[in-house]
Chains A and B, each alone.
Chain A
Amino acid sequence: MTVEAERVAERVARQFYGKLVAFLAARSRDLPAAEDALSQALVDALRVWPERGIPDRPEAWVLVAARRNLMRAARHRSVRENARPTIVLAFEEAEARMNEVATDALPDERLKLLFACTHPQIDKGIHTPLMLQVVLGIDAKAIAQAFVVSPAAMGQRLVRAKANIRDTGIGFAIPDRHSLPERLSAVLSAIYAAYGLGWDNLDGADGGCSGLSSEAIWLCRALLSMLPEEPEVIGLLALMLYCEGRRAARHNAEGEYIALDKQSTDRWNAIMLAEADTLLRKAGAANRFGPFQCMAAIQSVHAARRLTGLTDWDALVILYDALLMMQPTIGARVSRAAVLGRTKGPKAGLASLDAMDAREIRAYQPYWAVRAHLLTEVGDYPAAEAAYLSAIGLSDSPAVRCFLMDRLTDVRSGVA
């Protein structure tokens, strides 16, 4: 009986965590309290259900229990703090509203939660971890692992961020028409970062994906279900699906890294890529181009090799030019230089790299990898060797390091 109860409680937590927290937090505007109340309710469920039986609507049971915990905590606090009548009033209003709403029509307030987590007043660096914890219930340790951050530090930052939301009174509301594009962009960037890629990564093709890529895609799909006509949301989903669809081909059976242009297209997930193509077309129909649609379009050019056998490098230059106008990042600039190396020759690519700010690229691995490759093509082997060493030293992936070492060996032995 206890095992059954555990299974059901776990299912409720997995399927409904985000919705429940959103609903509780929206009314109380107190994220830490909402999470505590929900955790406590799940603990109560594990204690009570084995004795009294599992309810027909377990998620409704958990919600009612969590609400009770919240109100108990608020009254406790208001008595202590000696007058916060507004909180108690808000709860009583909420309780009245809850009783009106049919229990199976749990309003989906996750969208408000996503906007709250990426509010401009919150430090950008904590947007993604906040979102992952608050909407998906992922714990601080797992988030720390995914982003290579000290677990204790991550825990502290999340606690501070949530207290900040409560203390500065950040609202749980969907932004108005005027501020929506900018606020939405912050949400999309945070989801993209959860996927493991940021604006600094090279072109989505080989970005180090965090262990939370399926969670990121799930979040984007949830966002899309709430904002089905927003082209940039569609664009982000298409972008991540293009990357996911090619993931299997990035390493061979021995775990060796395979560069994009050498990947065997029959190891690509055709279904995922087809879905990405469809999404991108749908986004385009809205005629509101943006950076995520642009990056998705770039990936669709690469993905088209499975149908045409070729890569349209000229189209890529045009798309990178467009991307740089919207989002001038070092990742986009380096990628464009690589593509220019194909359309106009390695000297043109190198010239483009030379024009970049030395301070920005000093520790930027993709710059050195692309530079090494172009220098090899131009025939400047000593410089290529030095660039390969830099690229190797800056790599955090053993497979990529191995790959670059092989190229370095080729250069040294004159086989390049």
Chain B
Amino acid sequence: MQYALIVRESSRDFARRADPTYRDGWIAYTQALIQAGIMTGGAGLTAPETGTVVRRKGEDHDVQDGPYPEGKEQLGGFYLIDVPDFDTALEWATRVPVSAEGSVEVRPRLQM
């Protein structure tokens, strides 16, 4: 079954991406997923300030530069994994090297 591991990080976390130790943690985790043969997709994203949020305003659009206004945690990236059940997906979620300020959300992929 397919699940998404949605990673959210604080602004301090994003600042730490330049630190090789922090980066190594993510490289190591990604390698572990691939080695286990369960990673089916995913992507890391650049910092929230580099994004732009588009909303509808009637027939028009509202365009705001990032970061996304609500919440201290911002989307950092996501993994798509294929594992036997939800418990296993949670187990892999505990290995994601988020800091104490980050989080990992596990959600099943929509089957079309």
By size class, the interface of chain B is: 20 to 34
| Cα of A148 to Cα of B33 in the assembled complex, Å | 19
Closest to A388 in B: B28
Among A362, A389, A395, A396, contact of B27 (Cβ-Cβ < 8 Å): A389
CB atoms of A363 and B21 under 8 A apart: no
CB atoms of A148 and B90 under 8 A apart: yes
Given contacts A148-B90, A150-B90, is CB(A390)–CB(B24) below 8 Å? no
CB atoms of A390 and B35 under 8 A apart: yes
Closest to A396 in B: B94
Among A150, A390, A408, contact of B32 (Cβ-Cβ < 8 Å): A390
Cβ–Cβ < 8 Å partners of B28 in chain A = 389-390, 392-393
CB atoms of A396 and B90 under 8 A apart: no
Given contacts A149-B90, A390-B32, is CB(A362)–CB(B37) below 8 Å? yes
Q: B67 contacts the other chain (Cβ, under 8 Å)?
A: no
CB atoms of A392 and B25 under 8 A apart: yes
Given contacts A398-B97, A401-B97, A405-B25, is CB(A393)–CB(B90) below 8 Å? no
CB atoms of B86 and A150 under 8 A apart: yes
**In residues 24-67 of chain B, which contact A (Cβ within 8 Å)?**
24-25, 27-33, 35-37
Interface of B (DSSP majority class): helix
Cβ–Cβ < 8 Å partners of B27 in chain A = 389, 393
Q: B70 contacts the other chain (Cβ, under 8 Å)?
A: no
Cβ–Cβ < 8 Å partners of B86 in chain A = 150, 153
Q: A348 contacts the other chain (Cβ, under 8 Å)?
A: no
CB atoms of B31 and A393 under 8 A apart: yes
Interface of A (DSSP majority class): helix
Q: B16 contacts the other chain (Cβ, under 8 Å)?
A: no
Nearest chain B CB to A299 CB, angstrom units: 26
| Cα of A314 to Cα of B94 in the assembled complex, Å | 36
Nearest chain A CB to B72 CB, angstrom units: 20
Cβ–Cβ < 8 Å partners of B24 in chain A = 389, 392, 405, 408
Closest to A364 in B: B36
| Cα of A112 to Cα of B53 in the assembled complex, Å | 61
| Cα of A390 to Cα of B35 in the assembled complex, Å | 8
Nearest chain A CB to B3 CB, angstrom units: 12
Cβ–Cβ < 8 Å partners of A94 in chain B = none
Nearest chain A CB to B33 CB, angstrom units: 7
| Cα of A362 to Cα of B29 in the assembled complex, Å | 13
Chain B 72-96: CB-based contact to A (< 8 A → 1; otherwise 0): 0000000000000011001100110
Q: A394 contacts the other chain (Cβ, under 8 Å)?
A: yes
CB atoms of A363 and B36 under 8 A apart: yes
Cβ–Cβ < 8 Å partners of B32 in chain A = 363, 389-390, 392-394
Cβ–Cβ < 8 Å partners of A153 in chain B = 86-87
**In residues 30-64 of chain A, which contact B (Cβ within 8 Å)?**
none
Closest to B89 in A: A150
CB atoms of B21 and A405 under 8 A apart: yes
CB atoms of B94 and A393 under 8 A apart: no
Cβ–Cβ < 8 Å partners of A394 in chain B = 32, 95
Nearest chain B CB to A73 CB, angstrom units: 34
Closest to A389 in B: B28
Chain A 81-123: CB-based contact to B (< 8 A → 1; otherwise 0): 0000000000000000000000000000000000000000000
Cβ–Cβ < 8 Å partners of A392 in chain B = 24-25, 28-29, 32
Nearest 6 A/B pairs, CB to CB: A393-B32, A393-B28, A392-B28, A396-B94, A393-B29, A363-B36
Interface of B toward A, CB cutoff 8 Å: 21, 24-25, 27-33, 35-37, 86-87, 90-91, 94-95, 97
